[in-house]
Every structure is written in structure tokens, then in C-alpha cells.
Structure 1
């Protein structure tokens, strides 16, 4: 099948952007074999490639106005639409979505020994670092970030302006970060 000139393809895409059905038919006739070959090469299944080709042309119909004639060749744009769609289909085929509720039933809710050891060690390190902070600031951090108390409530509890409380929390978190640093 002879290659259609770039200018003709650009004109067809411009007319398709204006919803010209005759231009769409002409583009389909001129490019379907090549785009089908791209889909077939990637999907390796004739039926899947046929379905993908139809979806590719639906995308072309809806996205023809996105083709920038001065930026790329129309054949490259069409090939990219087909290739990307076929790759997306491959991803759907290879990794079917699983129902998370079903998967949740298979998960072991208890932590393994390694996870328990890591968590207890991390907990001790956090407690140690919290102990190095001024008591009221450590308590403010715990209330804000563990208990979920609002900054406004905390500023009233400690009888300090809201911005002062924010400064306490920020400085306390920075001290915790420095203290927790990489484990030795």
C-alpha cells in the first residue's frame, strides 16, 4: 500500500478536528493497515489488535485537534497513538485489577518477628528523643500529631498565641528529626 504524503495526512487530521466524516474515512482507509500492524506486533493477538485498532480510531476522532502539524509528522503522531494504546491494553491484560476486599482476606494481620523488632526499636528511639524535648513541647507534639488535637485548641490549653504554638511544634519536630537521624 503506497504511503500517503505528510501534507495530505495533516490536511485530513485538520478536517477530522472539524468533524469531517469523509476525511476520517479517508484517513482510516489510508492508515488502518499500518496502525493494525503496530497493534498486532505489540499485542500478539489478532482479536485484541482488532479491538485496539477500533479504539485507536475513536481516540484519533476525539483528539485530532491536539495534533500540532508544525511539531511532528502526522504519521509519527498516529503511530504513537496506536503504540501507546496497545501498551495500555497490554498493561490491563497483564495486571488485571484485583478486588482489594478479597486481597485483604488473604493478608496476615499479625506482624512478623522482624517487623515487631523494628517497630519496638523505633518506638524506643522516638520515646528517647521525645524525652529530650521540654515536657510541655513534647506533650504538645504528641497531642497534635498523635491525638489529632487542633492547633487552636492547643494554643488555648497552653495559653500561648497560635503562632507561638506553631513555632514550638516546628522546632520540636526539627529536634526530633535531628535526634532520630539514621540509626547507628
Structure 2
């Protein structure tokens, strides 16, 4: 099992599942969410609308996760999770940790081997990258230790630049 970080574009990553930093409505948005919806094509929005019309009528709660097919992405699955928005006073680190843990729960249910995460809640949601990296790395490592029989072998954090990579690498070294 490995946990690593790389600079890249999440929409081009070859992994069994990519995690989408979604909004609670699951209908696309900006940033990572918008990029994933654009790259996956219109069937992703249709799949999200079906979720909204069935199991997630009120949207997806902060810290929860749900999967759809990835359609035109190189991945097989998109795991949507809603991170806490620090600008809205959503500052509980447990809610952020839940994004990573619930995404891994869903990935394990799908029997995937590799999962690629963005820096959920960093950027537009205002969480400092160092906090996101520390929480993400600790949560993923803890999840792997608690689920040794899970199919997941490779967890990657895919970030946009060297600064974010350095922050995640520091978190990986510290843990």
C-alpha cells in the first residue's frame, strides 16, 4: 500500500477512482468540481441528477461521499465528497477528515485498487493547504491501517503546483 503526492491534472490521472471536491448539490461547480464535470462529459451531470432524484434528494452532506461512473475520464469511478467551507465557519477538522475516510469507504465498496484525491477544502473553501495535507494524510493512513483487507493499494494526492506538493510531502514525511 502506498500514499503519495504528485503534481498533475486530476482529470487525466489514471486511477480506478478519482475524488471530486463537489458541492452539496452534486450538480457541478467551479474548481476541481467544474473540471471533473467538464472532462467527464454530460453523462456525469445526468448521473448526479439521478442521485438527487433518488437517494440524495437533499444533496450530499459535508463529509459524506457517493460514487458515480466516471464516463469520459480515464478513471472508472468518480467519488464525490463535500468538504467543509472555512469561509462559512465550517472549521471542524473531523468533518474534513470524514471526506477522506468516507471516500475510501466508498472506494472499498467499489473494490478499487487506486484512488486519486484533490486537496479537498483547500483553495476556494479556504482551508490552509498544510491543514488539509496533515488531516488527509493522517486520515488515509489510519483508514488503511484499520482496513488491511481492503482492495485499495494506491492513494495519491494530485495537486496543481510545487507549493502544494511540498506541503503534502511534508505531511507524508511527518506521519
Please give the TM-score of this superposition, normalised by the length of structure 1.
0.20
Greater relative contact order structure (CA < 8 Å, 6+ sep): 2
Bigger helix share: 1
Larger CA Rg, structure 1 vs 2: 1
